[in-house]
A = this chain, B = another copy of it.
Amino acid sequence: MKIDIYNHVMPVAYLEKVKQHSKDPGIVKRMSNLRMLWDIEARVQMLDQWPDVQQVLTLSLPSPELVGGPEFSPELARIANNGMAEMVRKWPHKFPAFVVSLPMNNVPAAIEEMDRGIEKLGARGVQICTSVNGRPLDEPEFFPVFERVTRKHDLPIWMHPARPAARADYVNEQKSKYEIWQVLGWPFETSVAMARIVFSGLFEKLADMRLITHHCGAMIPFFAGRAETLWA
């Protein structure tokens, strides 16, 4: 049995909301074109080729706080999480579990949705992005999210990069070129977030916190020697 623990889906009801409300036409086009992301019957059929493969479901970008403001993102998260819960209920042998997405620009609602998703829908963890609309995760406002998932639920956090094309690679430019924001920017941003979580002391405050980073730890495993020398 092989369980892919970081697989993405986009429930159709969520995709519709993204199409209506996202201000990033690039991401909408990208997600709409990836049929296996939202056509789950087609995915299940495809997966039949590899009967020993199971997938833990996580929501694809854009996350709720990237699509709607704090008054709307909680509803978006509920739609996404209900959709993933439904997939797990329908095809438990393909999808043994899912992970809730949270409206991170509204922390009280994120806590509420975390509890609902885990306790009512059976989610096995939470997914957050490496930043909340560009803000670092070690801002005190976000601490209750890390605390709750660790201390109350004892479940892990999946962390996904969210650097957008609008984040320029050079100070005199308006956006990233040649997909650099994704190809190189995502692993960079993941590792930056990892460093911030460590050095801001989050693991001291929450020694039992478990974090699953995307892309096998991004840059950190490859630059461990550099990190050890310069951060020693």
Contact = CB atoms under 8 A, between A and B. Distances in A.
A230 B179 contact: yes
A173 interface: yes
A223 B192 CA distance: 16
A170 B134 contact: yes
A198 to B, nearest CB: 8
Nearest to A170: B136
Interface in A181-222: 182-185, 187-188, 191-192, 195-196, 199, 215, 219, 222
Contacts of A42: none
A182 B230 CA distance: 9
Contact of A199 (B170, B178, B227): B178
Nearest to A135: B172
Nearest to A138: B177
Contacts of A179: 230-231
Interface string A134-177: 11100000000000000000000000000000010111110001
A179 B192 CA distance: 10
A209 to B, nearest CB: 18
A182 B231 CA distance: 10
Given A134-B171, A177-B196, A184-B227, 17 more contacts: A131-B170, A136-B170, A169-B192, A169-B196, A178-B199, A179-B231, A180-B195, A183-B195, A183-B231, A184-B223, A185-B188, A187-B219, A187-B223, A187-B226, A188-B188, A188-B219, A222-B222
Q: What are the 8 closest A-B residue pairs judged by CB atoms, nearest first?
A: A134-B171, A222-B222, A178-B199, A188-B188, A136-B170, A183-B230, A169-B192, A184-B191
21 contacts: A131-B170, A134-B171, A135-B170, A135-B171, A136-B173, A169-B196, A177-B196, A178-B195, A178-B196, A179-B230, A180-B195, A183-B230, A184-B192, A184-B195, A185-B188, A187-B223, A188-B188, A188-B219, A219-B219, A219-B222, A222-B222
Interface of A: 131, 134-136, 167, 169-173, 177-180, 182-185, 187-188, 191-192, 195-196, 199, 215, 219, 222-223, 226-227, 230-231
